[in-house]
Amino acid sequence: MGRLFGTDGVRGVANADLTAELALGLSVAAARVLTVTESQESTCGRRPTAVVGRDPRASGEFLEAAVVAGLASAGVDVLRVGVLPTPAVAYLTGSLGASFGVMLSASHNPMPDNGIKFFARGGHKLADELEDRIEALYREHAAGQPWDRPVGAGVGRVTEHTEGFDAYVAHLVGVLPNRVDGLRIVVDAAHGAASRVAPEAFARAGADVISIGDAPDGLNINDGCGSTHLNALREAVLAHGADLGIAVDGDADRCLAVDRDGAEVDGDQILAVLGVAMREAGTLREDTVVSTVMSNLGFTLAMEHQGLRVRQTAVGDRYVLEEMRRGGYSLGGEQSGHVIVLDHATTGDGSLTGLMLAARVAATRRPLAELAGVMTRLPQVLINVRDVDRARVADSRELAEAVAEAERVLGETGRVLLRPSGTEPLVRVMVEAADATQARTVAGGLADVVKSALG
């Protein structure tokens, strides 16, 4: 049996891979691992507390019930904050002094999927070691080891925490360097967890907001909208003559944008814009931006031209965050739109990222396209190869030889990256080159080798 935890929590098809029984068992195991220190301390009889939120997927309703039941049965008091973004749950976990937090979401994945993410005290993602301990404890119980359960007054109590929405929106607006008055902004909330939060935050910050993707029904999350499908945002920006458009994903930890002409502004460009802005404001610590190996080579070249350093990590915002905390850096993120502003958030926050991008447009009075022009993207082709054995990527000699030949062909003007997805059953083939046709040709050839070698 493979590891339950992937790069971003436990994820799978709800009610098939991710069942109510699994959600309940993991929650009990997490309660025991994440509150072990508190249970040994005398805190005036205070029980551990957990913040629990979810995105609006239909399956989130029964999974939330299972998680809450598991936590309360383990003696944890639960604050249910309802449908809120992942970064809101992280923020509230810290601001409320909770022992840990739980978010039910599969982020940008299709509606049938769902997931469970745990946050440690302070709203930080769990280290691998903590995830391993939770999984080991869960497996012990699944193999027949009974839980030691509290009874009577020892069981946890469940409270609806309705104040979370206003507290989080106030936080978003309160940390902005300036207001965005006068900007017309289209906000696409992906029919997801930020359907109320994002439009409200932009409006309170002074924007003239046109809101789309803001009517979740439990089934339409990420369906042709949000940061993974920018056409609806592009069309709305052009139709309304907006200054820019902001799109988040289902749990709103990602943000992508389009300029007033409908051109995409990806995570690398957003990082570049914010990096320059924060350097000017004196808030970019060590004059360094943290990115991943998936970032466009053009991003690195642009930051070097601006006199900024780039630190690269493995793919995954958790690895970006680990490097930021290790080096004391204040800005990092991914091309996919996970952007972490560590002074104001402990994880990627799509609404905050979009607000800070809009604030930069408002402060400079320069269009987003001009600001994003700080970097020039080299042609980059990404192919997702599905239905292959992603676990064999590192062991395939045929694949290693094909990559070596591709790198020889590209020389110093390009690069190749093969990466098994941590959240989906596929292998990503990424090729950058000075010429778009060459990038497509090399990527297509590598994708064919991946299929034959790993299929």
59, 107, 195, 330: the active-site residue? 107
- Express each pLDDT in 135-156 by its tens digit: 999 999 999 999 899 999 999 9
For residue 389, what pLDDT is reported? 84
Q: Which residues contact 149 (CB under 8 A, 6 or more apart)?
A: 73, 74
Determine the pLDDT at residue 1.
54
Query: Residue 422 above 80 pLDDT?
Result: no
Stretch 318-337: mean pLDDT: 95
| Chain centroid offset of residue 282 CA | 26
Which pLDDT does position 421 carry in this prediction? 80
Chain center to CA of 208: 26
Q: Order the strands of the 244-248 sheet from edge to edge.
A: 208-212, 184-188, 244-248, 255-259, 264-265
Mean pLDDT across 311-336: 93
Domain ranges of the chain: 10-162, 167-372, 380-454
Q: What CATH number was assigned to the domain covering residues 380-454?
A: 3.30.310.50
The pTM of this model reads 0.89
Tens-digit pLDDT profile for residues 260-278: 999 999 999 999 999 999 9
Domain covering 10-162: architecture:
3-Layer(aba) Sandwich (3.40)
pLDDT over 50 (residue 41): no
Query: From CA 226, how far away is CA 223, in angstroms rounded?
Result: 8
When the pLDDT of each residue in the chain is averaged and rounded to a whole number, the result is 94
Percent of the chain at pLDDT > 70 equals 98
What are the pLDDT digits (tens) for 372-402?
999 998 898 999 999 888 888 888 889 899 9
First-residue to last-residue Cα distance in the chain? 20
More confident residue, 128 or 171: 171
To the nearest 10 degrees (0 to 180), the angle between helices 267-281 and 297-305 is: 20
Average pLDDT over residues 326-353: 97
Task: Write down the number of H helices and E strands in the chain.
Answer: 15, 19
Query: Is 249 annotated as belonging to a binding site?
Result: yes
Rounded distance, CA 269 to CA 256, Å? 9
Q: 167-372: same fold as 10-162?
A: yes
Q: What is the DSSP pairing of strand 331-333 with strand 339-341?
A: antiparallel
Predicted confidence at residue 341, as pLDDT, reads 98
Per the annotation, does 95 bind a ligand? no
Q: Which residue is it, tokens 């080299």?
A: 378
- Taking 90 as the threshold, does the pLDDT of residue 225 lie above it? yes
| pLDDT score at 45 | 60
Class of domain 167-372: alpha beta
Which of 123, 216, 170 has its CA nearest to residue 355?
A: 170
Question: Does the annotation mark 39 as catalytic?
Answer: no
pLDDT-derived band at 452 (thresholds 50, 70, 90) equals: confident
Task: Read off the tokens for 363.
Answer: 């402060």
Q: Are 54 and 105 in contact (CB under 8 A)?
A: yes
The answer to whether 251 is a known ligand-binding residue is yes
Q: Is residue 253 marked as binding?
A: yes
Gap between the Cα atoms of 251 and 195, Å rounded: 10
Per-residue buried b or exposed e for 185-209, using 16+ beta carbons within 10 Å of the residue's own CB: bbbbbbbbbbbbbbbbbbbbbbbbb
Per the CB < 8 A criterion, the answer to whether 330 and 283 are in contact is yes
